[in-house]
Amino acid sequence: MTPEPVAVDVRLLVTGSRQVFSLLTAYDPDFGDVFKVLADFVPEEPRSETAERAYRCGWRRRCGPKGCGNLTRGAVVEVLRQGFVRRRPRSPQRASRGSGRSGSRSLARGGGGRRGIVDEAAVREALARRSYRADWYEQRGRDQMREGTVLIDVTGSAVGQINGLSVLVYGTRAFGRPSRLTASVALGSAGIINIEREAKLSGSTHDKGVLIIAGYLRNRFGRDKPLSFSASLCFEQMYGGVDGDSASSAELYALLSAIGGLPLRQDLAVTGSVNQRGQIQAIGGVNEKIEGSSAPAATSG
């Protein structure tokens, strides 16, 4: 039996990644006919009066049903400051669309709900409590630096050694942590050896950064004669894998220091990727890296 068609008027919305959309379009000839409209949901948006108004309205909608209470003017200003300046966006001129939901949950658990009024202090208290609940791994890393288990120098100078900065993601929390980068050189023709790669602890982006360093050295010093040296780069006491190219500038400084025998200051931590022309490029996770670089300085000598 064939059922009779039912007259319906619906709109079907499917969400997913661009990769899945491309695969379905390529392998299902009917997919493009059924889903004719493609729209991107971007995680950030340019800062404007309209965006700020929508940001405020979204916060009020999320807080209302969850019992967060009424947001005062100071609370709204603090929410905007956190959303536009502090965390998720890569630029203070852009706002994150993903921070409101988790932030409203924090406010619901914070002191604002008990008082019925959410002020600036309640917003900061809720954020501090959310940070405290998930910062054990970060605090443990700082304790290891303080105890001397993880070796980080913050005074003096050393040859072929520098403090790099990385961002670790632990569940929903991301935080910065300094790590010691070392370079050693010797006679030979092996070029640059990436110890993380040899130990299968290096991601493809980090491998690319090391290869870019080699390209810079060839472009800078090997135009009229071939370069002949053996060097190795290593993230000391890093056992969970390394990825990203943000350490390439620090690795380059350590390598040049080892080659030239020139000491590097240990009270500075360095981050940022470098291209084959030696230009430092934009960095990500700047807030986390700044906070991570300041932690050992306050506890180590």
Segment 161-177 shows an average pLDDT of 84
Segment 4-26 shows an average pLDDT of 87
Q: Following DSSP, what letter does each residue of 167-226 receive, concatenated?
A: EEEETTEEEEEEEEEEEEEESSS-EEEEHHHHTT-B-HHHHHHHHHHHHHHHHHH-SSS-
Q: Where are the alpha helices (DSSP H) in 15-72?
A: 18-27, 31-34, 49-63
State the CB neighbour count (10 A cutoff) for residue 9.
Answer: 4
Cβ neighbours for 171, distance < 8 A, ≥ 6 positions apart: 134
One of 257, 289, 293, 300 is an active-site residue; which one? 289
Residue 29's domain comprises: 11-41
Segment 178-192 shows an average pLDDT of 92
Last residue of a domain, one of 85, 103, 133: 133
The CATH number covering residue 293 comes to 3.30.230.10
In this structure, the answer to whether residues 29 and 114 fall within a common structural domain is no
Does the annotation count 289 as an active-site position? Answer: yes
Give me the percent of the chain exceeding a pLDDT of 70. 81
Using alpha carbons, select from 185, 180, 142 the residue that is nearest to residue 158: 180
What does the DSSP 8-state code read for residue 269?
E
Does the annotation count 246 as an active-site position? Answer: yes
**In this structure, is residue 1 part of a structural domain?**
no
**In this structure, is residue 4 part of a structural domain?**
no
Chain mean pLDDT for the chain: 81
Number of domains in the chain: 3
Last residue of a domain, one of 118, 133, 148: 133
In this structure, the answer to whether residues 16 and 153 fall within a common structural domain is no
Tell me which of 70-79, 127-136, 192-201 is least confident.
Answer: 70-79
In this structure, the answer to whether residues 97 and 126 fall within a common structural domain is yes
Q: Following DSSP, what letter does each residue of 128-142 receive, concatenated?
A: HHHHHHT-HHHHHHH
In this structure, the answer to whether residues 129 and 143 fall within a common structural domain is no
**In this structure, is residue 5 part of a structural domain?**
no
In this structure, the answer to whether residues 158 and 285 fall within a common structural domain is yes
In this structure, the answer to whether residues 164 and 184 fall within a common structural domain is yes
In this structure, the answer to whether residues 80 and 188 fall within a common structural domain is no
Give me the percent of the chain exceeding a pLDDT of 90. 26
Last residue of a domain, one of 100, 133, 166: 133
**In this structure, is residue 246 part of a structural domain?**
yes
Using alpha carbons, select from 135, 123, 254, 243 the residue that is nearest to residue 183: 254
**In this structure, is residue 6 part of a structural domain?**
no
For the cut 60, the answer to whether the pLDDT of residue 97 exceeds it is no
Q: Where does the pLDDT of residue 94 fall: very low under 50, low under 70, confident under 90, or very high at 90 and above?
A: low
In this structure, the answer to whether residues 201 and 245 fall within a common structural domain is yes
Q: Kindly tell me the burial class for residue 22, based on how many C-beta atoms sit within 10 Å of its own C-beta (0-12, 13-18, 19 or more).
A: exposed
pTM score, whole prediction: 0.71
- pLDDT digits 0-9 by tens, 104-131: 555 544 444 455 677 788 888 888 888 7
The C-alpha atoms of residue 217 and residue 223 are separated, in whole angstroms, by: 10
The C-alpha atoms of residue 218 and residue 167 are separated, in whole angstroms, by: 30
In this structure, the answer to whether residues 128 and 141 fall within a common structural domain is no
Using alpha carbons, select from 146, 166, 42, 133 the residue that is nearest to residue 94: 42
In this structure, the answer to whether residues 244 and 285 fall within a common structural domain is yes
**In this structure, is residue 33 part of a structural domain?**
yes
Cα 292 → chain centroid? 12
What does the DSSP 8-state code read for residue 162?
E
In this structure, the answer to whether residues 54 and 166 fall within a common structural domain is no
Segment 225-249 shows an average pLDDT of 89
Cα angle 86, 129, 142 (rounded to 5 degrees) comes to 75
Q: Where does the pLDDT of residue 46 fall: very low under 50, low under 70, confident under 90, or very high at 90 and above?
A: confident
In this structure, the answer to whether residues 105 and 187 fall within a common structural domain is no
One of 104, 202, 246, 257 is an active-site residue; which one? 246
Q: Note the pLDDT of residue 182.
A: 95
**In this structure, is residue 156 part of a structural domain?**
yes
**In this structure, is residue 260 part of a structural domain?**
yes
